[in-house]
């Protein structure tokens, strides 16, 4: 029973750790998704702004060309347009890289979350197995108790009160090793503060 209890405790701790890791993974995935959407929105805005600037420059160049006050230097306008196009290309490249990085990060978190879910499923199966084995061992103990009562009716372990006392003391000892207090009289378990 101690071995089964230890295995059950270990499996429960593993499940708690997996649940915590999955929650952290889900939070990070949500953050990465939000960052990716924000980066995409910034890239779209930069493209829109670049298009507006390009149209504005084209209009200015057209207006200067038709103006009677003097011809603007076509080289200056072309250089200004080229500079804006380079700036737009650099911003678009930076936003695309950030978006791709965020998408790769999100994919890693999805893979991590799937791995945690698989490990959690395995831990749940282990708990089911331990629980079934515990039920089988409890049935064996009941049968042994019955046989002991039949063969030696005056043995102290035949009495239910002695059995409960032994079980309670063993549970208290086992739980104390794990950092818990157990009161056999009330069957209440609590975490030891320290």
In a domain, 33, yes or no: yes
Q: Is residue 173 part of a domain?
A: no
pLDDT score for 149: 87
Q: What is the pTM of this model?
A: 0.49
| Phi, psi (rounded to 5 degrees) for 188 | -105, 130
Strand-pairing partners, residue 182, are: 189
Has residue 150 been placed in a domain?
no
- Domain membership flag for residue 147: no
What pLDDT is recorded for position 57?
74
- List per-block mean pLDDT (blocks of 10 residues) for the chain, which spans 194 residues: 77 83 82 80 80 78 61 65 78 80 80 84 84 84 88 87 86 86 84 77
Residue pair 23/135 in contact (Cβ under 8 Å)? The answer is no
Choose among 9, 1, 11, 13: nearest CA to 135: 1
User: Three-class SS of residue 193?
Assistant: coil
CA–CA dist 188, 194 (Å, integer): 19
Q: Which residues contact 64 (CB under 8 A, 6 or more apart)?
A: 71, 72, 77
Residue 67's pLDDT is 60
Identify whether 155 is part of a domain. Answer: no
Q: Is residue 41 in some structural domain?
A: yes
How many domains does one find in the chain?
1
94, part of any domain: yes
The share of the chain scoring above pLDDT 90, in percent, equals 1
Coil/strand/helix, residue 188: strand
Host domain of residue 94:
2-117
pLDDT at 68: 44
Yes or no: say if 184 and 164 are a contact pair by the CB < 8 Å rule. Answer: yes
In-domain check, residue 148: no
157: Cβ contacts below 8 Å, ≥ 6 apart: 145, 148, 163, 166
């Amino acid at each position: 029973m101690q071995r089964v209890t230890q295995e059950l405790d270990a499996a429960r701790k593993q499940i708690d750790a997996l649940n915590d890791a999955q929650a952290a993974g889900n939070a990070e995935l949500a953050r990465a998704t939000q960052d990716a959407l924000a980066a995409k929105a910034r890239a779209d805005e930069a493209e829109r702004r670049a298009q507006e600037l390009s149209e504005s420059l084209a209009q200015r160049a057209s207006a200067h060309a038709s103006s009677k006050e003097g011809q603007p230097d076509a080289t200056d306008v072309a250089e200004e347009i080229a500079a804006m196009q380079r700036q737009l290309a650099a911003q678009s490249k930076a936003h695309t890289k950030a978006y791709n990085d965020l998408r790769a990060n999100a994919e890693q978190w999805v893979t991590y979350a799937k791995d945690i879910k698989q490990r959690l499923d395995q831990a749940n199966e282990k708990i089911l197995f331990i629980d079934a084995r515990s039920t089988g061992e409890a049935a064996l103990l009941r049968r042994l108790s019955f046989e002991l009562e039949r063969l030696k009716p005056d043995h102290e372990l035949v009495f239910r009160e002695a059995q409960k006392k032994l079980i309670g003391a063993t549970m208290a000892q086992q739980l104390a090793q794990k950092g818990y207090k157990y009161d056999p009289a009330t069957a209440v378990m609590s975490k030891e503060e320290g």
